[in-house]
Structure formats: structure tokens, C-alpha cells
Amino acid sequence: WWKGLLETLLSAVLSFRWLRYDREKLRSLGGHEYCVWWPPSSPRSAKLCWVLVPGGMSSGRDFYITSLGLSPAIARDESWVVFHNPGQGGTRCESISAHGLTRTDCLSHFLRHIREQFDSIVVVGFSAGGMPAMSLAQEEQPIADAFVSVCSPDRIRLVFEDQASWWLRVDVFFALWFHLCMRTGGLFELVPFKNFPWPPTWEGYMKPFSVKSFELATGQHRSFEELESEHFDGSLRMPPKAPCLRIWCVDDPIVTARTLEHGRLGHCEVWWEKSGGHCGQFYWSPDCAQRLREWVLRACKK
């Protein structure tokens, strides 16, 4: 665990690059505004486009986005873009909606928006960003040609409950970061809840805030466990409609292997990397990016 944590922190420092992006705001059919970031060098029409999805509390500024975007996995004549759900990447939530971490409405809208511009599209979701990727892969019309998740959770509740059981309460850090993200993304102003994240834990803040948000959106009170299957479960519950690859690290200090739905891993190809910690595989495993490229090219030919 400590090895994975050290590799994660070193990756965050050593592989981070401050890149310039052209930001484009779009609005889904449901009226939700979201934002995508295009690197200036990224062609808007090509044979292959990589759609990178950051975690639920991050953006295209995270180290793992640039570690893949600048890696050998993506050829110079190919395109890549960073997709952000509403409340991330420069937009603010304008209303409360019944959407959790597995929401696909805006992602599918964007994929349809660019579908005619590229011969093939692959969606790569990092951490919680892999949850909508896996969810979309199970829909009847997944739109993209292949889907990849990197260190992504299955049931997010199990991840935070696991963190809350450690003496090093990682869920406290995420609760505080969650609060800041809700303020930045506009949802804090729409959900009448605690003014301060106290206690700053999964059970004390993140979980009840999410339940309250859904109650306001639907007019019905449901426990997080009742909401989980539809809105907060990123596992593959059935064989996907498009090729899927899931990448994890055996020493991931954030999404530990014991929190995963191992009985469902047979629905797709799975790689267990020996190094990289949480989402640092493309820095610590030089051949991981090349293997990913080879997998994507094979998947897109099917």
C-alpha cells in the first residue's frame, strides 16, 4: 500500500505538465452545459480520437491526463480531447439533476457530436471517470468503438467505506476536496445542506450530501444503497456492447483490489499492472502506453 501511495504521489509531481487547451462548452439535449478541452495540436478530424475522462473531482489538469495525452499511446496525427461532466472543467451546475457518477447523457451527446469527424473513437476514463465509460459501454448504442478504464471503482461506496476503516483516514481528504468541488461546480449553492463539511468523512458528509441532492431532484427520499445500482456502480454487470479494457494496479492505494466486484471482471479484458499506484501506470510502466495503443488499434478494427 505504501509503495502504491509513493508511486502515485511521485507520478503526480513528475508526470504533470501544464498544457494549453482550447475550451468548448456544449449543451446536451437535456439542457445541461458541459465542457471539453482540446489541445491546440489536436486535429478535429482524424482516423482516431481519444476521449479522456478525468475523475469525478478533477479536471484535465490532473497528472494522469497529460501522462497519457503525451505518451506513445497517441500518435501525432491522432486527436485527443478531455471531456468534463457538468460542474467540472469550467462549467457550473445550473440545476439539480438525478445523475450520479455513472451518468452518460452528456458523454453520449458529445460522442454523437464528433462521431462523423473520426473513423474510430476510444473513451478512456481515469479513476471515477471510468464509471461513465463502463456504463456507456453496456448501452445498446455505445457510440464509441472501444472503452478503457484506468484504476476506476466499481461501487464507489465500498471504496470510501474501505478508506474510512484505515487509521490513515483518506476519506477525510476526499470529503474536504468533495466540498470544494461542490462549491466550485455550483452544486453546493443548489443543495441546502451543511455549510461546512463536518464531520469531513464519507458517512458524515459525502454520502448524505449525495442522498440530499437526489431527494431534491426526484422528490423522493432513497438511501444511497438504493441509488447505488443505477447511479454509483461502475462495474460491468453484463457483457459490454463494445470492446472494454480495465486497467488496475495491484498496489493501488485509493481503489484497492478488495473493493472490486471480482465476479464481474470476466466480462472484459483486465490488466493488473505491478506499478503506478493510482492512475500512474503510463509513467511507471513505459510499455503500458504501447500495449494500450496496440489493444485500441485491434479493438477498433473489430
HEC sequence for 231-285: HCECCCCCCCCCCEEEEEECCCCCCCHHHCCHHHHHHCEEEEECCCCCCCHHHHC
pLDDT of residue 52: 98
| pLDDT tens per residue across span 49-90 | 999 999 988 899 999 999 999 999 999 999 999 999 999 999
230: which 3 cell numbers? 443505477
The answer to whether the predicted template modeling score (pTM) of the entire model surpasses 0.85 is yes
C-alpha cell at 34: 458541459
Q: How many helices (H) and strands (E) does the chain have?
A: 11, 8
Give 141-170 pLDDT, tens digit per residue: 999 999 999 999 999 999 999 999 988 899
How does DSSP classify residue 223?
-
Helical packing angle, 130-137 and 105-114, nearest 10°: 70
Q: Which three cell numbers stand for residue 96?
A: 439539480
The DSSP result for 33-82, as a single string, is EEEEEE-TTS-SSEEEEEEEE--TT--TTSHHHHHHHTSTTS-TTSEEEE
| 79: amino acid identity, one letter | S
Give, as one character, the DSSP assignment of residue 153.
Answer: -
Residue 125 confidence (pLDDT) = 98
Whole-number average pLDDT of the chain: 95
pLDDT at 170: 93
pLDDT-derived band at 2 (thresholds 50, 70, 90) equals confident
